[in-house]
């Protein structure tokens, strides 16, 4: 049976499912949907254009469906679409898409910790962990089972690949490849996310293939195009092929690996840019062909 606290304000047109609990001083605006089994603790705001699937738990003072923090945001906006089984902790903010038909989307079974911010048009997959004070700019993509640690800032239009681990306070200004760990201090790749991969059920054979693919991409002298073609050729039926699929679509380039020695080897460029037909070196970006 649905329970709505007397102090909550629920718009008459809001769609409220079965067995929903809405706590004190919540505000549920018009043009919203709260799915079966959801639990909204006190002072939760569900704003226009929000669709909550079943069995989500939203904690105190979270605001879902706020307008984008963008100078071009007008009256007509996209929606916030949230799947099932998510936990959204205190003071989290999730903003609507910037334009009609352009939505902010969160999948299933994600954990968004205290004061996480999900910017407009961001897409989050399934089974991710977005920890305290993470800031996701607009148009960010977070793939399945990624882990984004505390106080990480992800620049707009950047992507974090599946099963990646981003260390605390990292500055993510380019794509994070799947399966890797990004060090929070240097904001550079420091290897595979071995612990996370094992917890996700990757077999020893799959881990060995990922290690070989990692060396091809991050430790060889091949160009980006050559490295990705080699990964596709050598691992066509392996999870390692997602390295190539993901990085080939990179628009901002992807974060490179830290030097094997202590600190970063500043004697050589850390990141490379791939233009249409020729590759040049740069200290600031790398693109995949």
Query: What is the per-residue pLDDT across 163-205, written as a single tens digit (0 to 9) for each?
Result: 999 999 999 999 999 999 999 999 999 999 999 999 999 999 9
Residue 85 has what pLDDT? Answer: 98
CATH 2.160.10.10: does it fit domain 3-142? Answer: yes
* Cα gap 71→98, rounded to integer Å: 10
Residue 282 has what pLDDT? Answer: 33
What percent of the chain has pLDDT above 90? 89
User: Are the C-beta atoms of residues 90 and 72 closer than 8 Å to each other?
Assistant: no
Q: What are phi and psi of 192, to 5 degrees?
A: -80, 155
Looking at the domain that runs over 200-282, which CATH code has it been given?
1.20.1180.10
- Domain range list for the chain: 3-142, 200-282
**Tokens describing residue 79:** 């929606």
Question: Which residues face 46 on adjacent strands?
Answer: 28, 64
* Cα gap 38→20, rounded to integer Å: 5
Query: Does the pLDDT value for residue 69 go beyond 90?
Result: yes
Rounded to two decimals, what is the model's pTM?
0.89
* Cα gap 231→212, rounded to integer Å: 9
User: Catalytic site residues?
Assistant: 120-121, 138
For residues 233-243, give the mean pLDDT.
97
Q: Which of 54-58, 170-174, 219-223, 277-281 has the lowest mean pLDDT?
A: 277-281
Residue 264 has what pLDDT? Answer: 39
Residue 289 has what pLDDT? Answer: 32
Would you give the DSSP letter of residue 105? E
* Cα gap 148→205, rounded to integer Å: 26
Residue 283 has what pLDDT? Answer: 33
Q: Which residue from 69, 70, 39 is spatially nearest to 55, judged by alpha carbons?
A: 39
Q: Which of 100-109, 191-200, 222-231, 275-284 has the lowest mean pLDDT?
A: 275-284
Burial grade of 17 (CB within 10 A; 0-12, 13-18, 19 or more): middle
Instruction: Estimate to the nearest angstrom the gap between the alpha carbon of 280 and the chain centroid.
Output: 29
Residue 259 has what pLDDT? Answer: 83
Find all residues with CB under 8 Å of 257, minimum gap 6, and list them.
Answer: 188, 189, 190, 191, 218, 219
Query: What is the per-residue pLDDT across 80-108, written as a single tens digit (0 to 9) for each?
Result: 999 999 999 999 999 999 999 999 999 99
Find all residues with CB under 8 Å of 179, minimum gap 6, and list them.
Answer: 161, 162, 163, 164, 192, 193, 197, 210, 214, 239, 242, 243
């Amino acid at each position: 049976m649905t329970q709505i606290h007397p102090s909550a304000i629920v718009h008459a047109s809001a769609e409220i499912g079965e067995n929903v609990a809405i706590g004190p001083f919540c505000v549920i605006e018009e043009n919203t949907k709260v799915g079966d089994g959801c639990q909204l603790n006190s002072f939760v705001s569900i704003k226009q254009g929000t669709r909550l699937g079943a069995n989500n738990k939203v904690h105190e003072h979270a605001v879902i469906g706020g307008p984008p923090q963008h100078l071009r945001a007008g009256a007509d906006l996209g929606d916030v679409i949230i799947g099932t089984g998510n936990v959204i902790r205190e003071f989290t903010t999730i903003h609507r898409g910037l334009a009609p038909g352009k939505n902010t989307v969160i999948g299933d079974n994600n954990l968004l910790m205290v004061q996480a911010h999900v910017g407009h048009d961001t897409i989050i997959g399934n089974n991710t962990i977005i920890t305290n004070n993470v800031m996701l700019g607009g148009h960010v993509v977070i793939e399945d089972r990624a882990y984004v640690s505390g106080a990480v800032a992800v620049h707009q239009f950047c992507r974090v690949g599946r099963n990646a681990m981003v260390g605390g306070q990292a500055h993510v200004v380019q794509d994070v490849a799947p399966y890797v760990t990004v060090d929070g201090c240097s904001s550079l790749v420091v290897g595979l996310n071995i612990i996370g991969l094992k917890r996700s059920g990757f077999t020893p054979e799959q881990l060995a293939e990922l290690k070989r693919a990692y060396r091809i991409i991050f430790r060889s002298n091949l160009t980006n195009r050559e490295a990705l073609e080699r990964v596709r050729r050598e691992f066509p039926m392996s999870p390692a092929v997602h390295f190539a699929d993901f990085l080939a679509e990179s628009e901002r380039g992807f974060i490179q690996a830290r030097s094997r020695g202590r600190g970063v080897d500043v004697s050589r460029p850390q990141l490379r840019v791939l233009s249409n037909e020729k590759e040049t070196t740069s200290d600031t970006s790398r693109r995949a062909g």
